[in-house]
Chains A and B, each alone.
Chain A
Amino acid sequence: MPYSDQILEHYNNPRNVGSFDAKGENVGTGLVGAPECGDVMRLQILVNPATGVIEDAKFKTFGCGSAIASSSLATEWLKGKTLDQAMDIKNTEIVEELALPPVKVHCSVLAEDAIKAAVKNFQEKQEARQPAEAAVAG
């Protein structure tokens, strides 16, 4: 199966490989997929709590070249976006940008899931903190 230049470029020079401390209060972590399915993506966002803007993003992926490229691209797109904008990223945009073949569409779905999981994780952390802050204020 021939791969697009875009996939190869991200595979050979992946952007934003790495990790943030998952316990960090401004970090949202999305871990999706399963080893026995051959794909695991971990996508993390670092959010400015005052503005709600994603300031940085990192990933690590176990998977095929298309899965690695999809997550690499996702981290690029996330930087500078608000959480709402991040939630609007569609897997079909990833398919288009990377020219993923039909058998690799699931990689883009996984990337979209990872974005949503990371945002949700950040939001849950914020909500969990609010009652505590309220108690201090009271």
Chain B
Amino acid sequence: MLKLPIYMDNNSTTRTDPRVVEAMLPYFTEQYGNAASRSHPFGWAAEKAVDDARDQIGKLIGATGKEIIFTSGATESTNLALKGVAAMYKKKGNHIVTQVTEHKATLDTAKRLERDGVQVTYLPVDKFGRVSADQVRDALTDKTILVSIMMANNEIGTVQPVADIGKVCKERGVLFHTDAVQAVGKLPIDVQAMGIDLLSLSGHKMYGPKGIGGLYVRKKDPRVRLEPIIDGGGHERGMRSGTLPVPLIVGLGKAAELCRSEMADEIKRTYALRERLRSRIMDNLPESYLNGHPTERLPGNANISFAYVEGEGLMMGIKDVAVSSGSACTSASLEPSYVLRALGVGDELAHSSIRFGLGRFNTEEEVDFVSDLVVREVTRLREMSPLYEMAQAGVDLKSIQWAGH
């Protein structure tokens, strides 16, 4: 039996897996010690739980538990990585390389660093949203201290050639940070093989709780050092002070363990659902376009533009389905998605985009319901669209002098 509303916005956040919640519960009411209390069993139990979680997370990305720093989420992790490196290595250089479709946590942090005198290169992307290792190599100078390229994009799902970029960074002795929020638990990651020195991850994107994230900080070859942005009791090797939220950490650890043990099956399953949704929609709707890379993309992400139909208008028609749109109308600004614009998707098609994010808890039945509904609503709204009528009549929409407002 289909239950409405249907959640298909798993790139925004995910449902906490019930097994994760179950693992967390004792750490609220029974094992509520402070992991920093060294003098009694409550503290020891908490410390052990935290260490176990570190190991679970480390294993998921090919790192050791000791290399994981806990934060409030990936936004903080990315702030710490960029600001921490810029401050710690300022004698070595003051140049950072990133790219234009990064999450705002990276872009806005980079902008703030620019105000403090750091030079930032924002690499352009190709029409699929990718940068190449060659672009990164060409951007490096003898002042470059950090490269920050995301592993997978949150809007369009495009996966970057991280291993190639990591190799370039290693050759040149430049630190490499990747915002892997969308990829951790969804794609195989090995920080050794990929040459990653710093990696941001978030609990709530991987079926863990909100309010907890992590930063992988390489301990050897090279040992990465960071200037903290939060000072206090010297927790987390001095890089992030503050009492550890043990229940959230236990939850993140459990989420990581589940992702690792179920990844192979989960990738296959989510990919099959995504392809079923994508083909059922696009085969039945001419002039619908997949945004992002056709193959190098997250298994669960389909970002589709429907020509002549505005994204938020469409979302009202499919209001029993939780999705997002690159339309300006869904945000406070009047600009459509900067990610789609960076790909060269025209503003009109950016306004017409819908992001479907499939995940662990979606079913084939939901996919069939949603695809039928989308086809029906897009068809209805096109009948109501002056642009569709003009295009059908052979009018070149670009030839019209539009009165913008």
- A residues contacting B by CB (< 8 A) are 3, 8, 11, 14, 17, 19, 31-42, 60-65, 67-68, 103, 106, 109-110, 113
A3 to chain B, nearest CB (A): 7
Chain A residue numbers with a CB within 8 Å of B385 are 40, 60-62
- Digitize B300-332: 1 where CB-to-A-CB distance is under 8 Å, 0 elsewhere: 000000001111110011000000000111001
Which 10 residue pairs are nearest across A and B when measured between Cβ atoms? A34-B402, A36-B347, A65-B316, A35-B348, A42-B386, A38-B351, A60-B386, A64-B312, A34-B404, A62-B385
Q: Is A109's CB under 8 angstroms from B405's CB?
A: yes
Residues of chain B in range 313-367 having any CB-CB distance to chain A below 8 Å: 313, 316-317, 327-329, 332, 334, 336, 346-348, 351
Given A62-B385, A103-B329, A109-B405, 17 new contacts (CB under 8 A): A17-B383, A34-B402, A34-B405, A36-B346, A36-B347, A37-B328, A38-B311, A38-B328, A38-B351, A42-B386, A60-B384, A60-B385, A60-B389, A62-B388, A64-B310, A65-B312, A68-B313
Does B403 touch A at the CB level, under 8 Å? yes
Does B397 touch A at the CB level, under 8 Å? yes
Assuming the A-B contacts A40-B402, A63-B313, A68-B313, are A31 and B386 also in contact, with contact meaning beta carbons closer than 8 angstroms in the complex? Answer: yes
**In the complex, what residue of chain A is closest to B389 when comparing beta carbons?**
A60
Chain A residue numbers with a CB within 8 Å of B312 are 38, 64-65
Partner of B403, one of A14, A34, A63: A34
Chain B residue numbers with a CB within 8 Å of A67 are 310, 313
B313 to chain A, nearest CB (A): 5
Chain B residue numbers with a CB within 8 Å of A37 are 328, 334, 347, 351, 402, 404-405
Does B282 touch A at the CB level, under 8 Å? no
Total contacts A-B at CB 8 Å: 94
Q: Is B402's CB under 8 angstroms from A17's CB?
A: no
Q: Is A40's CB under 8 angstroms from B328's CB?
A: no
Partner of A64, one of B316, B388, B402, B405: B316
Partner of A62, one of B310, B316, B404, B405: B310
Chain A residue numbers with a CB within 8 Å of B383 are 17
Chain B residue numbers with a CB within 8 Å of A113 are 405
Does B387 touch A at the CB level, under 8 Å? yes
CA distance A8 to B309 in the complex (A): 17
Most chain A beta-carbon contacts within 10 A, residue among B313, B327, B383, B389: B313
Indicate the size class of the contact surface on chain B.
20 to 34
Q: Is B402's CB under 8 angstroms from A35's CB?
A: yes
B253 to chain A, nearest CB (A): 36
Q: Is B384's CB under 8 angstroms from A14's CB?
A: yes
A18 to chain B, nearest CB (A): 9
Assuming the A-B contacts A32-B405, A64-B329, A106-B405, are A39 and B310 also in contact, with contact meaning beta carbons closer than 8 angstroms in the complex? Answer: yes
Sample of 14 A–B contacts (CB below 8 Å) = A11-B316, A14-B384, A32-B403, A33-B402, A35-B351, A35-B402, A36-B347, A37-B334, A37-B347, A38-B336, A42-B386, A62-B309, A64-B316, A67-B310
CA distance A19 to B316 in the complex (A): 24
Chain B residue numbers with a CB within 8 Å of A61 are 384-386
Chain A residue numbers with a CB within 8 Å of B329 are 38, 64, 103
Q: Is A36's CB under 8 angstroms from B348's CB?
A: yes
CA distance A39 to B347 in the complex (A): 11
A94 to chain B, nearest CB (A): 15
**In the complex, what residue of chain A is closest to B328 when comparing beta carbons?**
A38
Chain B residue numbers with a CB within 8 Å of A34 are 402-405
Chain B residue numbers with a CB within 8 Å of A65 are 312-313, 316-317
CA distance A5 to B351 in the complex (A): 25
Most chain B beta-carbon contacts within 10 A, residue among A11, A32, A37, A62: A62
**In the complex, what residue of chain B is closest to A109 when comparing beta carbons?**
B405
CA distance A41 to B385 in the complex (A): 8
Q: Is A33's CB under 8 angstroms from B387's CB?
A: no
CA distance A32 to B401 in the complex (A): 10
**In the complex, what residue of chain B is closest to A3 when comparing beta carbons?**
B316
Chain A residue numbers with a CB within 8 Å of B311 are 38
CA distance A38 to B335 in the complex (A): 9
CA distance A100 to B309 in the complex (A): 21
